[in-house]
Amino acid sequence: MAPKSLHLFLFVCSRANINMPVLRTLSKVAKQALLVSQGCGCQPLTVAVRNISFSPRQVTSDASFHSVSFSETDHPKVLITGGLGQLGVGLAKVLRKRFGNNNVILSDIRKPPSHVFHSGPFIYSDILDYKNLREIVVNNRITWLVHYSALLSAVGEANVPLARAVNITGLHNILDIAAEHGLRLFVPSTIGAFGPTSPRNPTPDLCIQRPRTIYGVSKVHAELMGEYYHHRYGLDFRCLRYPGIISADSQPGGGTTDYAVQIFHDAIKTGKFECNLRPDTRLPMMYIDDCLRATVEIMESPVDTLSMRTYNINAMSFTPEELAQEVMKQLPDLEVSYDVDQVRQAIADSWPMNFDDDNARRDWGWKHDYDLPELVQTMFNYIGSETRLAQVN
């Protein structure tokens, strides 16, 4: 091969997406070729070889990554994807109080409401745009990444290709960027990650998982990929399986567990409530304050306290009938009826009835604050005050 042709060949290789081992081999061959050419009296040739920046997409077999450690005076710099959801906004509020307002960045592809936009840093971010995500992480010196972006069950079933792109391809982008930059990564999972063949009462951390929704399938995929990146590359991946989350400041959206929010709104407004699940349908539930606190605690837990990377967490487990009885202690005249939605009932029947979270309680000291009586009182206090304020206005 002529020197100029060899030069051009290696330059093209360096500009192409060729991984480092292959490029090293090409460089070695080029040097040998140059020695031969010099022995033949040819002019020496300078070979241009680009140093390719590291990416897990080009990872070598002996690569190892480590999460960033913090001194007592340092704070993590946190990026929350899908941050305009209920959990993202709530977690940002908690973390900003803990680490400082400017150390927590919310991101989403939607326009934030005014009160969220003015509450702290917000940035547009599409998790399907790998280059943009990398720029955000680098330019803002991110050290923790909380990945809430996902299409949930109902929307996902209505648009499986989009759910596959957001929940799986988006996750792969997040994993690669987190590993490349040594981030501590949190990805939530769900009771929907289990299926009808899983043990239901209680459901342990490790058991068969065969969900029947694209959302559930994508969450099992996220658990396994995160654990693989941890064992393969040392990524500091952390995951909690959330039960049904109940919040007073969000409107029910028609989900399977949303009856546990709807009952409070209907009880205060009309004094009547119609439940779309059987009265004996038992599901694990948690008040949002416990959920957010658990997320902060697992992120702050020392690495050597974690015996696994994906944990169940639980607070309470109740049926619609048990919830209604607790509500009627405060509103005795509440009228409760049942009109079972077979689709939602089938989903609920495939989910855990109770989470076994002994590992979380043992490893990093998880302990919930809200049981059913405290939950009911808190919901009434909040929704009742909001209703009175609306009436005054």
Told to judge if 215 belongs to the known catalytic residues of this protein, a careful annotator would answer yes
Give the residue among 275, 281, 175 at the shortest CA–CA distance from 230: 175
What tokens does 129 get? Answer: 């745009």
Rounded CA-CA distance 338/356 in Å is: 29
Please answer whether residues 269 and 333 qualify as being in contact, where contact means their C-beta atoms are separated by less than 8 angstroms.
Answer: no
What tokens does 176 get? Answer: 């690669």
Please answer whether residues 47 and 30 qualify as being in contact, where contact means their C-beta atoms are separated by less than 8 angstroms.
Answer: yes
Please answer whether residues 170 and 127 qualify as being in contact, where contact means their C-beta atoms are separated by less than 8 angstroms.
Answer: yes
Rounded CA-CA distance 51/14 in Å is: 8
Rounded CA-CA distance 335/274 in Å is: 8
**Burial of 326 (C-beta count, 10 Å sphere; 0-12/13-18/19+):** middle
Please answer whether residues 130 and 113 qualify as being in contact, where contact means their C-beta atoms are separated by less than 8 angstroms.
Answer: no
Catalytic residue, from 130, 148, 215, 287: name it.
215
Q: Which residues are catalytic?
A: 215
